[in-house]
Amino acid sequence: MYKCRKYKLQRIAVTIAAILWIVTAVRSFMERSIYAVNNTGSDIVSIFSENVDNNVQSDISVDTELSDNYLSEQAMCLILEKMASEIGINRYNIQYSGNNSYENVYNNRYISRECVLTQDSLYGTVVMGIKATDEDKNYISIHIKLGKGVTSTTAYKAKLEKICNIYGIDSNVNVCITGQCDGDKSIEERNQITGNILSQLGAKEAEASRTKDLYTIYAYDKDTDGYMYIGKKKTNINISMNYDETTDKTNIYLATPINRGTINKIADYQTTTFIEIIGLY
């Protein structure tokens, strides 16, 4: 009787240990990948999604100066790895290129250097890079592109804002949400979509250009963080549209604080140079 009871207790203990191991492993994997985060309440992504037909994606980004001192290959990689940890990923690849010699840099034999970290997952893609463009300047580019994980846009924006605070990066975190509507929308239809979005956001129009070739609206929402100036007017909401004849769809962009124009080229690093990614040249 005693041996039987002891055997049962051992089996229970083994089962519990196995369950705990599985739970820990799953939690660890989820914490280190780009994944969908359930957001409560209405946010900019849900408002945008209500006004387009399909293919909603987002790109959360920071492109700015990082520092004005020499960074070695090891320093560049370490900074990117620490930033990746803050985002919550660890299955990334890092590529470094350029001559890392300190002497070369300060003896007029400067060779451009860059370090790029990438990770793909089911829900999104991360591309981060540091580029030294001259003897004293280092630039940082961080882009998180979300497809299936688009509902997590606000959560990942907060992660990038935290990174900016940690590293003293004085820059707005830019968010660009894209979607499509079927057909070539008229100016009146575009105005209706824009009006709906601005009304739901509680934003007021600041500047606008309403033509088929250049349809872009700048607005300001006091509840949205960050802003830029268009002329003398504050703006932190940018809605733009264009028609794609090849797909017979109207592309719609909602950005905060502004649509950088080339933002959707970021995901495919293999066919995009770092200069295109960083968007500074």
pLDDT in tens, 229-280: 888 899 999 999 999 999 999 999 999 988 876 333 323 333 333 333 333 3
pTM of the model: 0.75
pLDDT at 99: 63
Q: Which of 24-33, 64-73, 122-131, 185-194 has the lowest mean pLDDT?
A: 24-33
158-200 residue pLDDT tens: 999 999 999 999 888 999 999 999 999 999 999 999 999 999 9
Q: Which of 15-24, 114-123, 124-133, 190-199 has the lowest mean pLDDT?
A: 15-24
Rounded percentage of the chain residues whose pLDDT exceeds 70: 72
pLDDT at 37: 43
User: Has residue 6 got a pLDDT over 50?
Assistant: no
* Mean pLDDT of the chain, nearest integer: 79
Give the model's confidence band at 47: pLDDT under 50 very low, under 70 low, under 90 confident, else very high.
very high
Overall average pLDDT of the 41-52 stretch: 84
Overall average pLDDT of the 95-106 stretch: 64
User: Has residue 155 got a pLDDT over 50?
Assistant: yes
pLDDT at 236: 92
**Could you report how far apart the first and last alpha carbons of the chain are, in Å?**
80
12-39 residue pLDDT tens: 444 544 444 444 444 444 444 544 444 4
pLDDT at 223: 85
pLDDT at 261: 63
User: Has residue 110 got a pLDDT over 70?
Assistant: no
Rounded percentage of the chain residues whose pLDDT exceeds 90: 57
Q: What is the 3-state secondary structure (H, E, C) of the chain?
A: CHHHHHHHHHHHHHHHHHHHHHHHHHHHHHHCCCCCCCCCCCCHHHHHHCCCCEEEEEEEEEEEEEECCCCCHHHHHHHHHHHHHHHCCCCCEEEEECCCCHHHHCCCCCCCEEEEEEEECCCEEEEEEEEECCCCCEEEEEEEEECCCHHHHHHHHHHHHHHHHHCCCCCCCEEEEEEEEECCCCHHHHHHHHHHHHHHHCCEEEEEEECCCCEEEEEECCCCCCCEEECCEEECEEEEEEEECCCCEEEEEEEECCCCCCHHHCCCHHHCCHHHHHCCC
Unique residue bearing structure tokens 């051992």 = 10
User: Has residue 203 got a pLDDT over 90?
Assistant: yes
Overall average pLDDT of the 5-17 stretch: 47
